[in-house]
Structure 1
């Protein structure tokens, strides 16, 4: 009877998800010929073509390969759980957690969470990825991520979600010398009269615009960028205001300009940062412990340093 290995399945799953043997080679730190041989071995075992090779254009999965891919992911998940559970009696925790985080929130929250958790569970390896909301959801469904940190906006019912102790109310970001920056707070009507710098990342883009349209206002979008620091720098240079949820713990931009964060007086829908996983893919022990740790951490930002007079 022919046999296959978990290593072969791991290589196959990585190739399917990266759609490229070359990219899988980079991610796994394994030579391309070794990956090709492993997948050819799987195809020989199952007597089926699992991948369609496209010259200079990567690979795509066959119909038979799709069925094997889904089973392979489940086998790898069970293998990981068995390995972790076998260590419980010795009170050791090991394994790998793959985590995706919304790109504007990732720099502020993930390094701190990972560093704190690693002090408690040094045997757990954590792989971090950042991206937009649709990329994180795709990663959860494809089995690329065990856990995702994203905002509770336009999410599917296929995930289990839990709000984190992080800021969730939008605020206005203004250059320190802006005439509105001297006020204790601002209103949407006041902001709508100024040019807006929009964080152009899905679903933030529509969320921030909807805040105004639901109040019967039409913001004038002067510039947009998917980078939160680019948005902050453009505000710092006096090109307009922005509305954000993530609160960096500094009032200074990359290029040394001073900013002011002001609360917005109007009632607005919140945008809670959550951790989420697929409903039909229960977290491993290591993932559960990481989630437990995240529940204990206060993520609310301290008040940024006041701008210079």
Structure 2
């Protein structure tokens, strides 16, 4: 069976639409449909449900997708190993990332890779912790940034300690303090950054038995900061997610130990291109004075 058909099926599964998959792969909708039908004929059962709203995988299709992606990954790793033997690092690295890493780290790292290893192509997938871990489990990405890994099937490489800070406006009773006790958070309305996966702020509250008065929950950190700016409450955010705060807003250190550990999760068997990406990432972090490394 053709590896190309596996790649087509994987893209259809990702996008849920024959036409969109064709646009990405440079194929007609008819060619995509023919490839899927050919696979179904080869296997002897349906892989997708077709409807006006797009396509959805059958249970058999979902099972086969995992195996096909393993074959695709093995083929990619084989090509990269051959290039590596020839002394030319080539290949694609699919990376799961979240917004602060995308904006603060990745431009610098991609620039270094482009200059030194032009044969390596980087593909970014942005989501939250839960999505990144799920993409890694499903084989959609080669590695991903997480605050921790809950699965033994992944290697987790701790990278930095990102301090959690209290963010308060000039109308807050905390605004002029040099540091705050984490229990002081209970006295004011709290704006919580909400996302899927382990929430670093809620974990800190649980550790120190803090019961915040949560007024709003927002996914976007910029929205959270805007709420604080308009004096609707206080928040706690990792230092990495913000640069310049509004003129009437301060970031205040917390007396108790409060931080998140950012690391890179990956499968234990790495392709040469992924190994090179990790090497460049660690080298860049070692020379960056604005991050606190994990000892």
- TM-score of the two chains, using structure 2 as the length reference: 0.87
Tell me how far apart the structure 1 counterparts of residues 131 and 28 of structure 2 sit (CA, whole Å): 27
2:123 is aligned to 127
2:114 is aligned to 118
2:38 is aligned to 41
1:190 is aligned to 184
Matched position secondary structure for 1:141: helix
What displacement does 1:212 show?
2.5
Alignment of 1:91-106 (within 5 A): 91-106=87-102
Matched position secondary structure for 1:247: helix
What displacement does 1:221 show?
1.2
1:20 is aligned to 17
Runs of 4 or more above 6 Å deviation: none
What displacement does 1:74 show?
2.3
Tell me how far apart the structure 2 counterparts of residues 177 and 251 of structure 1 sit (CA, whole Å): 19
2:212 is aligned to 219
2:284 is aligned to 297
Root mean square deviation of aligned Cα: 2.6
Alignment of 1:144-159 (within 5 A): 144-152=140-148, 155-159=150-154
Q: Deviations over 1:80-135 (max 9, x none)?
A: 12222222244222211111113454333333322232222122111111112221
Q: 1:48 to 1:272 in 2, by over 3 A?
A: same
Would you say the 8 A contact 2:47–2:57 is kept in 1? yes
Would you say the 8 A contact 1:52–1:62 is kept in 2? yes
Tell me how far apart the structure 2 counterparts of residues 163 and 302 of structure 1 sit (CA, whole Å): 13
Q: 1:119 to 1:262 in 2, by over 3 A?
A: farther
Matched position secondary structure for 1:97: strand
1:54 is aligned to 50
Tell me how far apart the structure 2 counterparts of residues 174 and 275 of structure 1 sit (CA, whole Å): 31
Unaligned runs of 5+ residues in structure 2 are none
2:226 is aligned to 233
Tell me how far apart the structure 2 counterparts of residues 104 and 195 of structure 1 sit (CA, whole Å): 25
Q: Deviations over 1:157-183 (max 9, x none)?
A: 22110011x333321112356442322
After TM superposition, the structure 1 stretch with the greater mean CA deviation from structure 2, 173-182 or 134-143, is 173-182
Q: 1:187 to 1:289 in 2, by over 3 A?
A: same
After TM superposition, the structure 1 stretch with the greater mean CA deviation from structure 2, 288-297 or 174-183, is 174-183
Matched position secondary structure for 2:97: strand
Q: 1:258 to 1:96 in 2, by over 3 A?
A: farther
Unaligned runs of 5+ residues in structure 1 are 304-309
2:255 is aligned to 265
Q: 1:184 to 1:49 in 2, by over 3 A?
A: same
